[in-house]
């Protein structure tokens, strides 16, 4: 079966970056202690400390869902509430994993741009019934950065949300499945988006940007890390040969390439948006801030795409395109061409 | 930090086999649907069906603990009991993961050779209180093949246990973390050790025998597979880029190399056992049937090992050596030499 | 410490009806099998079958939260979604118990009058991602009848919701903590509000209407009852001397008194509403359909109530009064008098 | 259906003591805050503090299984191990409830007289793998006092077990379903069997000794009580009209009657044991220390019992008789007569 040629479905349909494969091969030397007690994992921890300019404890794992669930469980109590946006990935596309690992209830709130609003969060927490045993007790705030709709929280927005959360006794978890795209787009440092704003735990994904099933739980407060090894083992999240994931993560942030790839993917999406929205009948559903586009377009354009060598997702009447780190330039051109021809036939 | 030269701690301290690395690189072409809906995973399924001579549904994942837990959860009810040997890996070294994923209680039974005995199982199930709501209700039998102490169940032994289990309404799960070593040692086919004996679900590990965090839940009854995708997602066991694990698994069983490696590791252990037990004061704690040795030896020998370039595990007064798939012949010689010199100094 | 004289906080601050106490005393004769295998429980089952005009299996327990959780767990799968109104009691005031017992996620939907709307439910279920492992899978609909804000679903409304639910493969659970008030207010039979509309499991509360910690899970489909005894035991919901709860439940529905009490409480609330809303500045926040009033009233009136011998709940700027089954007529008069004097001083 | 006349099955087949019924009726005055925030519950707390000669926090509930589960959950972590005797009630007859509420694994140990042995516990805890993430981490010790086989731990035995537990960082839970029988038999005070020995949490049962579904979680360390209200609500263990259970508990320990009843039941069992073991072929299976007898007797005697107006339990070849608090003297005589006639016919 031949996969379609130009694939805009998601960044996780892409492959591995060359240096990631090299890192796996390079890690295959000698023996190493299992379960993360190895030199690759120690080097990876040191690298992350440098990149994040902060003491960290980093746990390698293979699943983004697992990474979010473990990150939240580190903050958890078993009769608790995790506050998040209605559209947060943990609330919509993880089949209840965060609830399973934490025993908590997810409380979704609305908010423009798919982002929580500090005042609304403050009000909700004020009404949460702290100390009332008939109510789940708030313990964590989740910020999805970027959001699943490709919007970004500026550092000041994250800081404001963390301030509200901490004032109400919550700790803050950031779902950074596309963290590279956020750092690249905002032109700031990893620290600027995390602990400097008040984030306590980050689930950083490398898979969508060139790694192979390599994710990291990055903990900025050592107290929060104490229970993680047990929770990971109990959740089937500990890797027997962890060195091969840690080696990827270490290499991933070792130089600028992770951000170069993210910058290029973001730029591709911006270019696509520019060219497509120049066409009559094509409009953005959400602002294009990273490597994702949500568009509304004429039926004829959708029909043309469906005939062509394209793969992408539909969400009701809208379409979504995601630019991968390994996007072929020809695919970008072909996509624009196809939509343009459908709307403004060249003959 | 320099790892010691000769490492006999476990098979998971070893690296990856060359063809496994090649398979990962080869899978890095084009795009692929995420979460296991890809051609690599389909090819892997077809390959397993051929190797097992049976219709199968195979789910790739990264963690052996996850694989056992999902395999058991496929058989589960949430007020249930899973019967296993007291020393079963799921009962001793998975930090409660099987209980977490299934909601069930593990009921350990004794048995010689670290193996369950059909008559004792039959008696225990007869006293289990089927239908009595104050008692957990039996739903699964776990067989660890090989056992954590390196002993093997002959096909007839598995058949006898499955017969008892099925007669009492239980389904059977096999923990095959070292399945290759069992197949190699017993000189039979994968089918001979699984569905032909009555095994319903197999957790097959490839990691310990040359793969990189590649494990498979192999389901022989399609009915049992229906809920697995949901349980895997909820348990953070679904891989975003599953193709890279499926490609390993497909390659792993594609020819005889997995069994060659296992045969060699088994043979190395047998040779070690032969040479060491020829020395005065050295005796086997358990029979050597695969690639693991449990020995008792004089204190002087243990002290000598601790001075030398060796890594291995102690269990109380006993020592354990595991022969890896990538064991250096020099290490075997050095180990024998070290122990012999400690017991029978050559000067 | 002296409790305030006139208590409008909730129906569960009231006491026991005389015939309920008599039933407890009458059950204290001889010995009886524990855990519900006794004659009182069998008689209670027969009585419920007659009252509901349908084959039923009824499980006695002590906690309304337990009753809802067990009722839902009877319909459950562990990666599922339970659909309910945003304001459903199970979603707001049970500290996550339904999630704990079922392993499922509660999906709240908005709806006028604190009631779900069939079209909105249909649309939500259509978008739920049936078969997609990244999404929780819908398995149950919860209808709170009456709602926590005292509104009622007419039989036709229940039927319409059940029809949507069943069409999408869900089973229906009704939270009937104030079921008597609903039956009394709607002037229909218990059957008319439950299985005739398509309800599969009812959690019927007797505690708020004159019983002592006596609740019932009423199952209309025997298939759904099979696992309940195990789930109850595992959830600590089985009563050692179940006869004393079953005796209450049997007596509770044995004649018209449960509905008489409910009718009187409903009428008291209606009278209060009539008299209070006749005063300037007093308005209803929700329609008064059972024994609960939600009002907005001038600050002076609230201040007067706070000085007087009254207990009631405030919800933000609103006040809630609940008329108990054992409400003192003097309390009703005193309440009206107090509010009237605050708004229209008589001198 | 006529229940058999003389019922020796268990103490929970018995009824309520007169003063317990009076306490329920007496509590039915006025209104009271729900969920345990009421005067009856406060008076009950004060009474327990006096009876136990210690600051306590007491939580009323209806289920012994719930009481054990909540008591253990107060000590819990979710990747933990609870150590107990193989035959502990929590390990055998609660359908996995303690595991459900705590998320922990029960680790059963053998021990003579159905009691744990300090040295064996010490050894097991020394091998438990503290700090090793592949192993469940010990957090609680359960002592069932009396045991399910009617044997007693002397205060010095409890002290020795608690000392081992505390030294290894565990807290201690006592399952006191028949606590009254233990206090009565040992002739000591409630304090002598609990906090003075090092017990941290006691699940005290009143149901088996004259109350109606009235159980108490008695916490001796205020720190441990903080989370209990939430865990109880989430577990469906909070009672809406808690006053009616608290009133029972308060009355239960208010004077000597609870111990009088227990003393009489114990004495009845001792007398039965004396008379029955005087007969040829009748022997004790376990020492008779409280109100329970485990006997082996000739088949003819068992057959005679099965013909007569007796109810009792068989455990394999043995029989169990429990003397209830409301045992009829005629039943005791009839039982002895029946067995004697079967073994030594009087004609």
Using CB atoms, list chains with 3+ pairs below 8 Å to chain D: A, B, C
Q: What mean pLDDT comes out for the span D38-62? A: 98
The distance of D72 to chain A (nearest Cα, Å) reads 14
* Beta-ladder partners of A138: A81
Q: What pLDDT does residue B97 have? A: 98
Q: Does residue D146 have a cis bond before it (omega within 30 degrees)?
A: yes
Which chain C residue is nearest to residue B100, measuring alpha carbons?
C103
Write the ipTM. 0.96
Percent of chain A residues past pLDDT 70, beyond the cut: 99
Look up residue C52 and give its two tokens.
């509901």
CB atoms within 10 A of CB B5: 15
Which chain A residue is nearest to residue B67, measuring alpha carbons?
A236
The distance of C119 to chain D (nearest Cα, Å) reads 32
Which of chain D's residues have a Cβ under 8 Å away from the Cβ of C208? 240
CB atoms within 10 A of CB C117: 18
Sort C267 into a burial class: Cβ within 10 Å, 0-12 / 13-18 / 19+: middle
Q: What pLDDT does residue B1 have? A: 43
- Whether residue C212 and residue D241 make contact (CB cut-off 8 A), yes or no, is yes
- Asked whether the predicted pLDDT for residue C219 surpasses 60, the reply is yes
The answer to which of B217-221, B287-291, C76-80 has the lowest mean pLDDT is C76-80
Distance of CA A148 to the CA centre of its chain: 8
Which of chain A's residues have a Cβ under 8 Å away from the Cβ of B1? 39, 42
Within 8 A by CB and 6+ apart from D258, the residues are: D180, D206, D209, D210, D252
**Contact present, C118 and C164 (Cβ < 8 Å):** yes
If DSSP codes are grouped into helix, strand and coil, which group holds residue D207? helix
**Contact present, B81 and B138 (Cβ < 8 Å):** yes
Within 8 A by CB and 6+ apart from D255, the residues are: none
**Contact present, D92 and D142 (Cβ < 8 Å):** no
Q: Can you give the pTM of this predicted structure? A: 0.97
If DSSP codes are grouped into helix, strand and coil, which group holds residue D291? coil
Q: What mean pLDDT comes out for the span B247-263? A: 98
CB atoms within 10 A of CB B128: 18
Within 8 A by CB and 6+ apart from C341, the residues are: C304
Instruction: Classify residue D212 by its DSSP letter.
Output: S
**Contact present, D226 and D57 (Cβ < 8 Å):** no
- Whether residue B65 and residue A24 make contact (CB cut-off 8 A), yes or no, is no
Which member of A79, A229, A234 has the closest CB to residue D234? A79
Q: Write out pLDDT tens, residues B303-325.
A: 999 998 999 999 888 999 999 99
Angle between helices D39-52 and D243-252 (to 10 degrees): 30
**Contact present, A80 and A103 (Cβ < 8 Å):** yes
Q: d(Cα B301, Cα A328) in Å, to the nearest integer?
A: 62
Chain A, chain D: beta-carbon pairs less than 8 Å apart? 38
Which chain A residue is nearest to residue B8, measuring alpha carbons?
A31
| Mean pLDDT, all residues of chain A | 96
Which of chain D's residues have a Cβ under 8 Å away from the Cβ of A229? 133
- Asked whether the predicted pLDDT for residue A343 surpasses 80, the reply is yes
Q: Write out pLDDT tens, residues D258-269.
A: 999 999 999 999
Q: Write out pLDDT tens, residues A263-284.
A: 999 999 999 999 999 999 999 9
Q: Write out pLDDT tens, residues B212-227.
A: 999 999 999 999 999 9
Q: Write out pLDDT tens, residues A143-185.
A: 999 999 999 999 999 999 999 999 999 999 999 999 999 999 9
Choose the mutation target among D10, D64, D95 for the interface with B, i.e. most B CBs under 10 Å: D95
Sort D111 into a burial class: Cβ within 10 Å, 0-12 / 13-18 / 19+: middle
- Whether residue D94 and residue B134 make contact (CB cut-off 8 A), yes or no, is yes
Which chain A residue is nearest to residue C135, measuring alpha carbons?
A95
- Asked whether the predicted pLDDT for residue A141 surpasses 50, the reply is yes
Q: What mean pLDDT comes out for the span D52-63? A: 98
Which chain D residue is nearest to residue B94, measuring alpha carbons?
D134
Sort A347 into a burial class: Cβ within 10 Å, 0-12 / 13-18 / 19+: exposed
- Asked whether the predicted pLDDT for residue C5 surpasses 90, the reply is no
Q: Write out pLDDT tens, residues C177-198.
A: 999 999 999 999 999 999 999 9
Residue with tokens 């379609």: A4
The answer to which of A59-63, B35-39, B189-193, D43-47 has the lowest mean pLDDT is B35-39
Which of chain C's residues have a Cβ under 8 Å away from the Cβ of B79? 227, 230-231, 233-234
Q: d(Cα A47, Cα D235) in Å, to the nearest integer?
A: 44
Q: Are strands A137-144 and A310-311 parallel, antiparallel or unpaired?
A: unpaired
Angle between helices C18-27 and C243-252 (to 10 degrees): 140
Distance of CA D234 to the CA centre of its chain: 24
Which of chain A's residues have a Cβ under 8 Å away from the Cβ of B207? 240-241
Which chain A residue is nearest to residue D231, measuring alpha carbons?
A79
Give the closest residue to B239 by CA, choosing from B61, B66, B68, B101.
B61
Which of chain C's residues have a Cβ under 8 Å away from the Cβ of B34? none
* Beta-ladder partners of C217: C59, C203
Q: What pLDDT does residue D1 have? A: 43
Which chain D residue is nearest to residue A234, measuring alpha carbons?
D79
Q: Write out pLDDT tens, residues B129-159.
A: 999 999 999 999 999 999 999 999 999 999 9
3-state helix, strand, coil in chain B (%, to 5): 45, 15, 40
| C-alpha distances out from residue C134 to A61, A104, A179, C131, C273, Å | 19, 19, 21, 9, 48
Which member of D28, D62, D239 has the closest CB to residue C21? D28
Which member of B65, B67, B244 has the closest CB to residue A212? B244
The distance of A75 to chain D (nearest Cα, Å) reads 13
Instruction: Classify residue C339 by its DSSP letter.
Output: H
Residue B78 binned pLDDT confidence (cut-offs 50, 70, 90): confident
Q: What pLDDT does residue C2 have? A: 52
The distance of C156 to chain A (nearest Cα, Å) reads 31
The distance of B79 to chain D (nearest Cα, Å) reads 6
Residue with tokens 């020998």: B301
**Contact present, A106 and A130 (Cβ < 8 Å):** no
Q: What pLDDT does residue A1 have? A: 43
Q: Write out pLDDT tens, residues D60-94.
A: 999 999 999 999 999 978 899 999 999 999 999 99
What's the angle, vertex CA C247, arms to CA C244 and CA C252, rounded to 5? 130
Q: What pLDDT does residue A109 have? A: 98
Using CB atoms, list chains with 3+ pairs below 8 Å to chain B: A, C, D
Q: What pLDDT does residue A4 have? A: 53
Look up residue C60 and give its two tokens.
């006695």
Which of chain D's residues have a Cβ under 8 Å away from the Cβ of A35? 133-134
**Contact present, B292 and B320 (Cβ < 8 Å):** yes
Which member of A10, A235, A239 has the closest CB to residue B100? A235
Using left for φ > 0, alpha for ψ between -120 and 50, and beta otherwise, residue D86 falls in alpha
| C-alpha distances out from residue C310 to A21, C7, C10, C331, C346, Å | 73, 6, 12, 8, 20
- Asked whether the predicted pLDDT for residue C205 surpasses 60, the reply is yes
CB atoms within 10 A of CB A35: 18
- Asked whether the predicted pLDDT for residue D98 surpasses 50, the reply is yes
Instruction: Classify residue D112 by its DSSP letter.
Output: G
Which of chain A's residues have a Cβ under 8 Å away from the Cβ of B245? 213
Which chain B residue is nearest to residue C36, measuring alpha carbons?
B133
Q: What is the DSSP string of A305-326?
A: HHHTTEE-EEETTEEEEE--TT
Which of chain D's residues have a Cβ under 8 Å away from the Cβ of B136? 95-96
The distance of A245 to chain C (nearest Cα, Å) reads 24
Which member of C78, C137, C230 has the closest CB to residue B133? C230
Q: Write out pLDDT tens, residues A315-338.
A: 888 999 999 999 999 999 999 999
Q: What pLDDT does residue B308 have? A: 82
Percent of chain D residues past pLDDT 90, beyond the cut: 96
- Asked whether the predicted pLDDT for residue C308 surpasses 90, the reply is no
Look up residue C88 and give its two tokens.
């459903």
Q: d(Cα B274, Cα B288) in Å, to the nearest integer?
A: 10
Q: What pLDDT does residue D76 have? A: 79
* Beta-ladder partners of C205: C215
Q: What pLDDT does residue B5 have? A: 83
Q: What pLDDT does residue B2 have? A: 52
- Whether residue C63 and residue D236 make contact (CB cut-off 8 A), yes or no, is yes
Which member of D24, D101, D311 has the closest CB to residue C24? D24
Q: d(Cα C318, Cα C338) in Å, to the nearest integer?
A: 17
| Residue spans of beta strands (DSSP E) within C20-163 | 57-61, 80-85, 105-109, 137-144
Q: d(Cα A235, Cα A251) in Å, to the nearest integer?
A: 26
Q: d(Cα A122, Cα A107) in Å, to the nearest integer?
A: 13
Q: Write out pLDDT tens, residues D241-256.
A: 999 999 999 999 999 9
- Whether residue C135 and residue A105 make contact (CB cut-off 8 A), yes or no, is no
Q: What mean pLDDT comes out for the span C261-282? A: 98
- Asked whether the predicted pLDDT for residue A2 surpasses 70, the reply is no
**Contact present, A83 and A140 (Cβ < 8 Å):** yes
* Beta-ladder partners of C59: C217
| C-alpha distances out from residue D346 to A184, B122, C13, D272, D282, Å | 99, 43, 62, 19, 17
Helix H, strand E, coil C: the string for A88-114 is CHHHHCCCCHHHHHHCCEEEEECCHHH
- Whether residue C207 and residue D10 make contact (CB cut-off 8 A), yes or no, is no
Distance of CA B314 to the CA centre of its chain: 20
Q: d(Cα C332, Cα C328) in Å, to the nearest integer?
A: 7
């Amino acid at each position: 079966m031949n996969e379609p040629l130009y694939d805009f479905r998601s960044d996780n349909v892409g492959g591995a970056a060359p240096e990631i494969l090299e890192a796996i091969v390079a890690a295959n030397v000698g023996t190493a202690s299992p379960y993360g007690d190895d030199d690759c994992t120690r080097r990876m921890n040191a690298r992350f400390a440098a990149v994040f300019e902060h003491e960290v404890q980093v746990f390698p794992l293979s699943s983004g869902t697992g990474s979010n669930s473990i990150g939240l469980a580190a903050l958890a109590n078993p009769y608790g509430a995790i506050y998040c946006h209605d559209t947060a990935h943990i609330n919509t596309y993880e089949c209840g994993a965060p609830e399973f690992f934490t025993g908590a209830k997810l409380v979704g709130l609305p908010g423009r741009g798919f982002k929580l609003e500090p005042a609304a969060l403050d009000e909700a927490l004020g009404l949460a019934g702290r100390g009332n045993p008939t109510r789940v007790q708030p313990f964590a705030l989740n910020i999805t950065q970027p959001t699943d709709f490709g919007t970004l929280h500026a550092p000041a927005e994250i800081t404001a949300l963390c301030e509200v959360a901490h004032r109400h006794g919550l700790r803050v978890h950031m779902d950074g499945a596309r963290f590279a795209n956020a750092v690249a787009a905002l032109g700031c440092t990893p620290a600027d988006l995390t602990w400097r704003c008040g984030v306590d735990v980050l689930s950083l994904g490398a898979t969508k940007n060139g790694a192979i099933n390599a994710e990291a739980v990055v903990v900025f407060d050592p107290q929060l890390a104490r229970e993680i090894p047990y929770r990971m083992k109990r959740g089937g999240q500990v890797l027997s040969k962890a060195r091969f994931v840690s080696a990827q993560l270490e290499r991933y942030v070792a130089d600028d390439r992770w951000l170069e790839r993210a910058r290029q993917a973001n730029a591709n999406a911006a270019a696509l948006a520019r060219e497509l929205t120049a066409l009559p009948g094509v409009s953005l559903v959400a602002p294009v801030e990273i490597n994702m586009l949500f568009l509304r377009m004429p039926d004829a354009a959708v029909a043309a795409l469906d005939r062509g060598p394209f793969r992408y997702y539909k969400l009701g009447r809208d379409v979504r395109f995601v630019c991968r780190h390994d996007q072929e330039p020809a695919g970008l051109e072909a996509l624009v061409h196809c939509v343009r021809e459908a709307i403004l036939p060249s003959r």
